[in-house]
């Protein structure tokens, strides 16, 4: 970790010049559905240039907008890009005929609304995301679907995300590890929709109408937020455990 005497001064300058600011959700804007006070201030300081880019696969943009609204933050829903929702959109556009979706119920509802043909068995596409009702029976059906040649799409490959009271929340990647452990010698190349893949970053930059080199990603995970941004030429600012910086270091000092 580099010696840092500026307490975020250089990063605040970078934010000041950025035309678009992409913000991670878990561990950055919120922990366990509670908005961090610093995130509230950061969003207010850069309101018209911020998009939220998250590997979250259990919520809809409307849910995050509502959580923000409870904390008196008015944030446009169309600037919230979530891996689960984008995975469903992608599969809906792919023309897949039989889709097995392991997800939260509200993501299944979204899939039905978008016309995704959901099946229990023999899918041509298996879509995996955080499913709090994941079970032995689902694992068995999904592993055999893969062995029979289904294409695998995963919302993200994160194994956990930070929860309240320093606990971890098992993520899609943990379910993916269980699935791959059962799938035998067959080779699978999952399509990963979330970070560090390019899709969420690209959709956010397009929506903000900024070129990647004029955008900055703020996140707490070097492997997803940092690496994904780097691949597209987006500058990244890491905060939290992986960095000597905290989110509050990115706020403009309050004038005395």
Binding site for Mg ion (CB under 5 A): 24, 26-27, 220-221
Closer to Mg ion by CB, 52 or 126: give it.
52
Q: How far is the CB of 222 from Mg ion (least distance, A)?
A: 11
Closer to Mg ion by CB, 83 or 208: give it.
83
DSSP codes of every residue in 80-125: EEEHHHHHHHHHHHHT-SSEEEES-HHHHHHHHHTT--B-SSS-SE
Closer to Mg ion by CB, 36 or 232: give it.
36
75-to-54, 89, 139 alpha-carbon distances in Å = 15, 22, 37
Q: How far is the CB of 226 from Mg ion (least distance, A)?
A: 11
User: How far apart are alpha carbons 213 and 205 in whole angstroms?
Assistant: 10
131: tokens are: 């499913």
Q: Order of strands across the sheet with 80-82?
A: 80-82, 50-54, 20-23, 215-219, 235-238
Instruction: List, in sequence order, the alpha helices (H) in 130-226.
Output: 136-147, 172-182, 199-208
115: tokens are: 């016309």
Q: Determine the angle formed by the axes of helices 105-113 and 83-94, rounding to 10 degrees.
A: 30
Closer to Mg ion by CB, 46 or 161: give it.
161
Q: How far is the CB of 150 from Mg ion (least distance, A)?
A: 29
Q: How far is the CB of 230 from Mg ion (least distance, A)?
A: 16
Residue nearest Mg ion, CB atom distance: 27
Q: How far is the CB of 224 from Mg ion (least distance, A)?
A: 7
Q: How far is the CB of 249 from Mg ion (least distance, A)?
A: 17
Place of tokens 């689902």: 138
Q: How far is the CB of 24 from Mg ion (least distance, A)?
A: 4
Closer to Mg ion by CB, 126 or 234: give it.
234
Closer to Mg ion by CB, 11 or 220: give it.
220
Closer to Mg ion by CB, 83 or 111: give it.
83
User: How far apart are alpha carbons 117 and 97 in whole angstroms?
Assistant: 6
């Amino acid at each position: 970790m580099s010696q840092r005497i500026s307490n975020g001064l250089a990063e605040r300058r970078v934010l000041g010049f950025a035309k678009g600011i992409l913000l991670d959700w878990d561990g950055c804007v919120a922990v366990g559905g509670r908005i961090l006070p610093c995130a509230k201030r950061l969003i207010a300081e850069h309101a018209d240039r911020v998009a939220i880019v998250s590997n979250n696969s259990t919520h809809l943009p409307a849910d995050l907008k509502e959580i923000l609204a409870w904390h008196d933050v008015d944030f446009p829903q169309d600037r919230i890009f979530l891996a689960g929702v984008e995975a469903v959109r992608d599969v809906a556009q792919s023309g897949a005929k039989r889709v097995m979706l392991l997800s939260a119920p509200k993501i299944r509802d979204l899939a039905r609304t978008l016309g995704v043909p959901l099946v229990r068995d023999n899918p041509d596409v298996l879509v995996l995301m955080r499913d709090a009702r994941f079970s032995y029976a689902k694992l068995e059906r999904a592993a055999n679907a893969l062995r029979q040649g289904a294409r695998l799409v995963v919302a993200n490959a994160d194994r956990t995300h930070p929860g309240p009271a320093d606990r971890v929340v098992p993520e899609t990647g943990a379910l993916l590890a269980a699935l791959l452990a059962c799938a035998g010698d067959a080779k699978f190349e999952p399509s990963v929709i979330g970070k560090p893949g390019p899709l969420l970053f690209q959709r956010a930059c397009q929506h903000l109408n900024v070129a990647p080199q004029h955008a900055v990603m703020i996140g707490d995970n070097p492997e997803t937020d940092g690496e994904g941004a780097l691949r597209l030429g987006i500058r990244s600012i890491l905060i939290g455990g992986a960095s000597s910086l905290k989110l509050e270091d990115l706020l403009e000092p309050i004038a005395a």
